[in-house]
Chain A
Amino acid sequence: MSTSDTPKRSLRTPLGRVRNLGAAHSGTSDFWRQRITAVAMTLLMIPALVIIVMLLGRNQVYAAQTLSSIPVAVILLLFIFASAWHMKIGMQVVIEDYVHNEKLKLVSVMLNNFFSVAVALASTYAILKLSSGV
């Protein structure tokens, strides 16, 4: 990139001007976290499916007992944490791609954060409540 198109002479390098910018103003951190959470969920998929299939058609007492066992609770907590984070990033990418009105975009991104955190917290609370047996 030449400096001829810059109106004023500046000591800032082209790299310095773009650093820390990008659509999300957070560089590639979301890209990386989206992939970490995807790998985590792929690894947790089989244990998570086994837990759900085990509970099919069982009553609440059996379900509560199973969900409160430590390995089951930890697997589900990890899965939920990874899912909530992954879906928050994924939906933000979709919003940034399709919502062009700046205010509507900010509101959508905010609602996306609220929804994802609410999903994570409600599920986590339920599992911890079952695990503590109250």
Chain B
Amino acid sequence: MALSIIHRATGIALYFGTLLLVWWLVAAASGPAAYAHVQAFAGSIIGRLIVFGYTWALMHHMLSGIRHFIWDLGYGFKANEREALTWGALIGGIALTVLIWIVAYANGGGR
């Protein structure tokens, strides 16, 4: 499986995506006008797509990282175990992303 390159790619995406987090926090500290800009961007179609992608990258990178932890601890090296961990990270990452967005919308993300 080519999952290790996805781990890297999501890591690089998250790296530059932290700019969004910085923008959000700095805007919150700056005042209502700056905060409204962030909200307008994050609420737009492109903004939502980026944040959705960011959510997936974060969840996938986390689960894929946990997979690396399991290997670091010396487990999960058999062929079927590696396959299971890889699919677990792929499916789990998508499932967690969808779950987070359902919870987010239920909590007023659609406002």
Q: Which residues of A does B touch, CB under 8 Å?
A: 35, 38-39, 41-42, 45, 49, 53-54, 56-61, 63-64, 67, 76, 80, 83-84, 87, 90-91, 94, 115, 119, 122-123, 125-127, 129-130
Residue of B nearest to A63 (CB): B28
Stretch at the interface among B74-82, B84-92, B99-107: B99-107
Q: Determine if A129 and B29 form an interchain contact, defined as CB atoms under 8 angstroms apart.
A: yes
CA distance A49 to B18 in the complex (A): 15
Task: Name the residue on B nearest A131 (C-beta).
Answer: B29
Where chain B touches its partner, the secondary structure class is helix
B26 touches A94 (CB 8 A): no
The reply to whether B28 and A64 contact each other, CB–CB distance below 8 Å, is: yes
* Residues of chain A within 8 A of B14, CB atoms compared: 87
Of the residues A35, A59, A123, contact of B32 by C-beta under 8 Å: A59
**Interface residue total, chain B, C-beta cutoff 8 A:** 33
Give, as a whole number of angstroms, the nearest-CB distance from B39 to chain A: 8
Cα distance, A61 to B65, chains bound together (Å): 36
Chain A residue nearest in CB terms to B100 = A49
Is A94 a contact of B8 with CB atoms below 8 Å?
A: yes
Which chain B positions have C-beta within 8 A of A122? 22, 25-26
- The verdict on B66 contacting chain A, using a C-beta distance below 8 Å, is yes
CB of A8 to closest CB in B, whole Å: 40
Q: Decide: B26 and A42 in contact? CB cutoff 8 A.
A: no
Bound-state Cα–Cα, A130 to B39, Å: 18
Contact (Cβ within 8 A) A90 B109: no
3 nearest A-B residue pairs (beta carbon) = A57-B111, A60-B35, A126-B29
**Distance in angstroms between the alpha carbons of A83 and B20 in the assembled complex:** 14
Q: Once bound together, how far apart are the Cα atoms of A56 and B72, in whole Å? A: 37
- Pairwise interchain contact B19-A126, C-beta atoms closer than 8 A: no
Q: Is the CB of B26 within 8 A of A119?
A: no
Q: Are A45 and B62 in contact (CB under 8 A)?
A: yes
Interface pair A57/B25, CB less than 8 Å apart: no
Q: Which of B32-47 contact A (CB under 8 A)?
A: 32, 34-36, 39
